[in-house]
Structure formats: structure tokens, C-alpha cells
Amino acid sequence: MATSSSSLPRFLTRKGVPLWRDVVVLQWVAQIISAILVVGFLWFFISNVLAAAEARGLGLGFDFLRNSAGFPIAESPVPYDPSRTFGYALWVGFLNTLKVSVVGIVLATFLGLAAALARLSSNWLVSSLAGVYINIIRNIPLLVQLFIWYFAVFQRLPPVQNALTLPGPIFISQRGLYMVGPQPTGTFGLWLLFVAAGLLLGYLLHRYLLAYQMRTGRSRYPLLIGLLAAAGVALLGWFVVGAAPLRLTTPELGRFNFEGGVRLTPEFAALLVGLVVYTGAFIAEVMRAGILAVQKGQVEAAKSLGLSAFQTLRLVVLPLALRVIIPPLISQYLNLTKNSSLAIVIGYADLFFVGRTIINQAGQAVPVFLLIMAIYLGLSLLTSAVLNLYNRRVQLVER
Amino acid sequence: MTTAAETFMAPPARPGPRRWLKKNLFSSWFNTLLTVVAVAFIGIVALSLGRWALVTADWSPVVENLRLYAVGPYPAEQMWRVWAIVIMVSFLMGVSGGRWGGAVRTFALALAIAYGVLATVPISLEYLPLASRLRLASNILAVGLGILVGRRLAIKGYQMALAWMVSFLLTLLLLGGLRNAAVAPYLPFVESGRWGGLLLTFLLAIVGIVASFPIGVLLALGRQNSLPVVKALCVVFIEAVRGVPLVTLLFMTSILLPLFLPPEVRIDRVLRAMLGMTLFAAAYMAENVRGGLQAVPSGQVEAAKAMGLNGWQTMLLIVLPQALRVVIPAIVGQFIALFMDTTLAVVVGLLELLAIGRAIINSNPQWLLLDKEVFSFIALIFWIFTFSMAYASRRVEAAVGLGKR
């Protein structure tokens, strides 16, 4: 191309190609048209919302979040009462979502691992049993399972007076599950600092000792020493902070209900069991595929190097299998978190449930929905960011 | 006369039952222990389940409401339309089975057998009248006739696809009827609020998957595109929809959508739920199709360009056919997932299968404590459909060699 025309756009200089056939022009036109279409749609929607808001007197701002909520929330990991703000209520809902998701993820992982190992078992009966579990659970909608767990199981438990008593004591009744458990006292926060410091120290020690072992070939038991250091600091903290940071509470049957103890509500329990059983079946398939993906030669090579069965599993099979397992596993974790929004059908006060209540109370449908969707979206974007990071690391190891 | 070498070469005899037991159940003390525990577990579960299902359980809310589970509150005097749709689908299923043979024919035959089982199910004639049983049985004929037609006539693949599309539109027309005064006497309008039960469940899933297909393909193409603005718009849509739970989307289209439209535009409830399902399915469809697009070797595109095809021709004639062929299994899987996800419509007040179950429990004080029976029945229905669809798609996949790339 001539130097004199380089400052001009390409389509002005190329006399031979008409405008409507020039690829660059066409591409720009396509982009501008699609952008105009989308902006036009948004404009149309937004102007309608503004009109509707004016006509019905709905607010669109986020100021209402500072108003008093005025509705109770059945269970909350942090102190809550109806005089707190809408924003705080939403925070409680978010914490409840996190609570059921985190506990569910941990339990579902164990269940999935157990089911995957059972499915791979050389025992035909155990393997088929796991296959039946996986194939039944995966083919029934989660919502139907939640209905069965909540309405047909947890609501049919005996009333408080005839509660099932398990050793512990653990009481199971319509009001939920009561058991002995730790309760934080005033010094708990301070003690947590010690625990964190202990974990950090243990981790650093472990890293240092592992590097030493790699350099010299002599083992200084990095894992054991690291764990001991962490436990030691935590134990030291327990006595340093003064009064014990945790104390045991035991449930006792009061006049109408149990008092004291740690309580799992039937809503939480039903949602948790439903999510764990459902996601566990999917995780089992993920893990089975990952373990099967490890080539036989790797195991044979490890054995011929003289590694024990446990070492083979820990140092060869698991790292190789994990590379296949982790990405779909994380997306199952994300599914579990998103599926926890089904709590609304059984009345567990998760983010979505609290959001619905706020919409009913304050009528602020648009901003509340934006907030809820943004939070879920944030969670999943965070997850996919972590996943991408992991994939990049794994790929580096691979090549 | 067999030589020693030949006897040596012979395949090993199938292990006898004793050897099989020894190898698979009692190979070590640990395995024996596992077997004993598993047998005990299976025995206890089977016994208590069997006793519950046959003795303790009261199935009256199930058998007395079969029509409600099937179609919900659809007007009884218009039931012939539903039957017509069922017959049409059975016939087309048969034609497809005859046309393609193999696993598809097996599926069609299984459908015929299922009709036979339903027609002779041993419950009182009061709950499943003779007329309904005969109609069910006539579907066996429809399937058989379809198989004959499919084998005799040389039907092309695209004609078959067209027939299914037409039947889909016909289904919607038959179910809804028309408001038009000229047609109304023969095909009166049935508002979508009266569609329900398994019918609505299927309708939501099928509409979702059919409507999401073109949108999903466009989104996938947009995401593969080199144009930054188009690409960004597609990525934002896909990731935003995939990042939120389906319930929030359903709520948005059901509750917020009226706010987003001018007051004079009213979309009815079922259609709004379908819109939510479609948006949701489109984002997942786009990712499936993108996988297919990536599976097409770049040599194909280069070859098409070398042949002198332009961009559109390359896409429509070379890339998309190959890409879509690869993603058929994924789309079937997505359909099954969507079929199960239709239960979420219960949250926005549609009367699909699960909601009908709840309504039945609450309709009679004597049934209030029978939710175990009702929900187990619903779970069984879902399981039969999803499991057989998944099984059939695996068989078709294996037979056609799809998804092997």
C-alpha cells in the first residue's frame, strides 16, 4: 500500500472493491448494528421500567436497604432481629446460602468419593449398588427429591415430646436435630487469631521442611511437624486468652421445645441432605472418570519403582486423576451452590428466599433482583477464575 | 480332529456360576465381608420398601387422579386433542424407527410395549376407563403403522425433521385452539393456564430446547466471531445466564418482565416461564454448539475457502453440519436436564407435574399425609422418562459412532 494513503482508512484507498463488499466495512457495519440493537433493547426496557416505577410509585434506588426490615428470619448464623436493616437481612441470607453450600460441598465430596470407590470396587454387588444409587438419583429432578426429603421425611418425624434419642445425646424431632456442641464465648474471636497464626506457622514449617527433604533426601516429617506446630499454637492460645473460648452446650427438653445445644432446623437438614445426595451422585461419576483416566502403565511404573500401595495412590494416581477431576468437580460445587436457591420451596432462609421476602415487604423488585443476580454471578465468576488459574497451572505441569 | 494347539487356542470357557461368585463376590476376606454387608443392606431395604409399596402405602391419591397427572386441569371435553397429539407422536416415532432402524426402532418398540403395559395396568376401570385403555392400545397400532411406512417409503432425513417440526407446531395449535370465531366451534380456545401435568412438563422442555436451538447457534457463532463488539455481547449474555440459578431467571421473566414491557403488552404466565426456560437453555446450548464448532478441523474451513466458497457458504454448508452432528449427544443430554428442570416452574405457579402432585395432596384432607406416595409416583414417572431417554441416546450414539471425535 502506498505510503501517502496509509493515514486514510483502507476502504477509501482501495478503488477496486465497492463499499458493500469490503470486509472491513461490512464487519464494522455488523458491529455497529448489533450494538445499536442491544442498546435500543436496553433503552426500551429501561424506559418502560422507569415509566412503570413512576406509575406504581416503585423506588428504583438502593436507599431502602438502610430501612428496617421488620420481618423475622427463622435461622441465622449471626444475631438478627426484625429491627435490623434490609441490607443486613440480605447479608444473613447470603451467609445462610454460604453455610448450606460449604457444608454441602464437603459432605457431597465425601459421599461422591465413597460412591466412586464403591462403583470401581471389584465386588460386583457393591459396584452395582453404587450404580443403582447413581442412576436413580441422577435421573430424578432435585426439586422432587427435596419435596420427598422435606415433606415426606423431615416433617414426618415424631413431635418434640417423643423425640428419637440417640447416644450423645442427639434428639431428632419435627423441630430439627438437637445435639451437644461447642458454643463460642466472648474470647472466641481472640482465639481465632491464634488458630490462624498457628496454621500459618505450620504451613511455613511444612514448606521449609519439604524443601529441606527435597534438597537432601532426608525426611524431617514435614506434614507431621507442620500439623503439630499448628495444633501447639492453637492449644497455647486456648490457655493464653483467659476464659475458655468454646464451651459445651447440651440440649435439654424444656416445656415446649429443647433448650440449649446445637440445632439443625428441618429446613436446613432437608436442603442439605437433598443437595448432598443429589450432587454426590454427580461427583461420583466425575471421580470415577478421573480415576479411570489414569493409565495403567503409571500404576505399574510406580509399583516397579517400589512405591507402596498407599504411596502409589497418593503420589501417582491421585495427582494424575485430580487433573481430570478438578474442573468438573468445581463446576459441580458451583451447581450445588446455585441449586441451594431451591431452598425457597421448603422455606430455608437463603439469599433468594430473603430476597423474595424483601420484595414482598418493600416492593423493590428491580434492585433486589439485580443484587441477588449480581451476587450469584459474582460467586460463579469467582469460581471460573479459580478454575482458569488451576487449569493454567496444571497445563504448565503437563507440558 | 482337534490338535493340542487348537484346544489351547480355544477361547476360555465362560466361568461357571461358582467361579463367577468366587471371583466377583468372595475373592478375599474383605470382599466377603463387603458382600455380606451389601446383601444385608439390600435385603432390609428391599423388604421395607416392598412392604411399604404393597401393604402400608395408600395409593388412592395416585390412581384416582391419573388424568390430572397427565394433563392437569385441561378441559375433559377437549381431551380428544391430547389423544390426537399422542397418536401423532406415536406414529412419527414409528416412522423414525422404521426409517433409521437400530436403536431408534428399539425405542419405538419400547414405546409400543409401554402403551401395552399402560393399557392393561391392573387398576379399577373406574380410574382408567375402557375407552382410555382402548385409545392407549390404538397407539400400538400407530407405532406399528409408522414403522411399516418408514420402512416402505424412502423418506429423506430432512423430510423426517420437517415432519417433526410440523407436528410440533400442530401440537401447539391443537392444544391452544384459536380465538378466531370461524374455528372456535370446532377448536375452542383453551387458555394456557389450563395446560398442566406431564403435558405441560413435556411442553416446557420441548419448547425450551426447540426455541433455544437457533438462539444458541447464533450465540455460539457470535462468540467464535472475530468482531469484538458482537463477541463481547455474546460472552456477556452466555456467562451471565449460566452464572445465575434457573429459579432467578424464571422469577425474572415471570415477575419482572411485565415491568420491562409497556403496560399494554401482556404475556401470559406459561409463555413467560417458557421464555425463562428458553433464555436459560440458549446459553447452555451456545456452549454445546461452541464445543462442536471447535471440533471441526480447521482444514475443513481452509478447504472450503480453497474451493471458492464464501463465508456464509463455508459456515452453512461445511462447518455447521459437521459441528451440529457432533453435538447431538450433548443436546440430548441438555434436553433431559431441561426436562427435569421444568419442575422449577412450580416456583412461579405453573401446574406442571410436581405442582399437580402438591395440589392433589392439598385437595383432600384424607390425602394430606400421603405425600410420600404422591411424590414417589412423580419421581418414578420422571425416572422412567429420563432414564429411558438417556439409555436410548447412549445406544444411538454408540450405533452411529457420534461423539467419538
* pLDDT tens sequence across B236-294: 999 999 989 999 999 888 888 887 887 777 788 888 999 999 999 999 999 999 988 88
User: Total domain count for chain A?
Assistant: 2
Residue B61: inside a domain: no
Q: A285-325: per-residue pLDDT in tens?
A: 999 999 888 888 998 999 999 998 888 888 888 888 888 88
Domain boundary among B167, B190, B213: B190
DSSP for A39-108 reads: HHHHHHHHHHHHHHHHHHT---SSGGGGSB-----S--SS---TTSBHHHHHHHHHHHHHHHHHHHHHHH
- Residue B240 to chain A, least CA–CA distance (Å): 7
Domain boundary among B146, B169, B190: B190
User: Total domain count for chain B?
Assistant: 2
Give the separation between CA A300 and CA A100, rounded to whole angstroms.
Answer: 41
Same domain, A51 and A104: no
Same domain, B210 and B281: yes
Same domain, B264 and B140: no
Across the interface, whether the CB atoms of A144 and B262 are under 8 A apart is answered no
Same domain, B181 and B204: no
Same domain, B367 and B231: yes
Range of the domain at A94: 86-160+264-398
Residue B14: inside a domain: no
Label each residue of chain B as H, E or C: CCCHHHHHHCCCCCCCHHHHHHHHCCCCHHHHHHHHHHHHHHHHHHHHHHHHHHHHCCCHHHHCCHHHHHHCCCCHHHHHHHHHHHHHHHHHHHHHHHHHCHHHHHHHHHHHHHHHHHHCCCCCCCCCCHHHHHHHHHHHHHHHHHHHHHHHCCCCHHHHHHHHHHHHHHHHHHHHCCCCCCCCCCCCCCCHHHCCHHHHHHHHHHHHHHHHHHHHHHHHHHHHCCCHHHHHHHHHHHHHHHHCCHHHHHHHHHHHHHHHCCCCCCCCHHHHHHHHHHHHHHHHHHHHHHHHHHHCCHHHHHHHHHCCCCHHHHHHHHHHHHHHHHHHHHHHHHHHHHHHHHHHHHHHCCCEHHHHHHHHHHHCHHHCCCHHHHHHHHHHHHHHHHHHHHHHHHHHHHHHCCCCC
Angle CA B244–A332–B276, to nearest 5 = 30
Chain A stretch 333-392, residues whose beta carbon is closer than 8 A to a beta carbon of chain B: 338-339, 341-342, 344-345, 352, 356, 359, 365-366, 369, 372-373, 376-377, 379-381, 384
Across the interface, whether the CB atoms of A381 and B243 are under 8 A apart is answered yes
Give the separation between CA A237 and CA A191, rounded to whole angstroms.
Answer: 6
Domain boundary among B162, B190, B218: B190
Same domain, A146 and A275: yes
pTM assigned to the model? 0.85
Confidence of residue B123 (pLDDT cuts 50, 70, 90): confident
Residue B378: inside a domain: yes
Same domain, A38 and A93: no
Give the separation between CA B77 and CA B272, rounded to whole angstroms.
Answer: 27
pLDDT value at residue B401? 60
In B, minimum Cα distance to A359 occurs at: B255
Q: Determine the average pLDDT of the residues in B338-345.
A: 92
In B, minimum Cα distance to A378 occurs at: B243
Same domain, B132 and B217: no
- Residue B204 to chain A, least CA–CA distance (Å): 15
Residue A136: inside a domain: yes
Chain A stretch 147-186, residues whose beta carbon is closer than 8 A to a beta carbon of chain B: 147-148, 151-152, 156
pLDDT value at residue B2? 47
> Shortest CB distance from A31 goes to which of B229, B379, B387?
B229
Same domain, A25 and A153: no
Residue A169: inside a domain: no
Residue B358: inside a domain: yes
Range of the domain at B268: 194-405
> Shortest CB distance from B383 goes to which of A136, A148, A365?
A136
Residue B52: inside a domain: no
Same domain, B253 and B402: yes
pLDDT value at residue B10? 60
Angle CA B112–B114–B119, to nearest 5 = 95
In A, minimum Cα distance to B338 occurs at: A141
Q: Do the beta carbons of residue A380 and residue B243 sit within 8 Å?
A: yes
Same domain, B300 and B199: yes
Same domain, A391 and A268: yes
Same domain, A376 and A283: yes
CATH number at B207 reads 1.10.3720.10
Identify the DSSP state of A17: S
Residue B322: inside a domain: yes
pLDDT value at residue A198? 92
Q: A45: which chain B residues are within 8 Å (Cβ-Cβ)?
A: 260-261
Q: Is this prediction's ipTM beyond 0.95?
A: no
Same domain, B198 and B263: yes
Same domain, A156 and A290: yes
Residue B316: inside a domain: yes
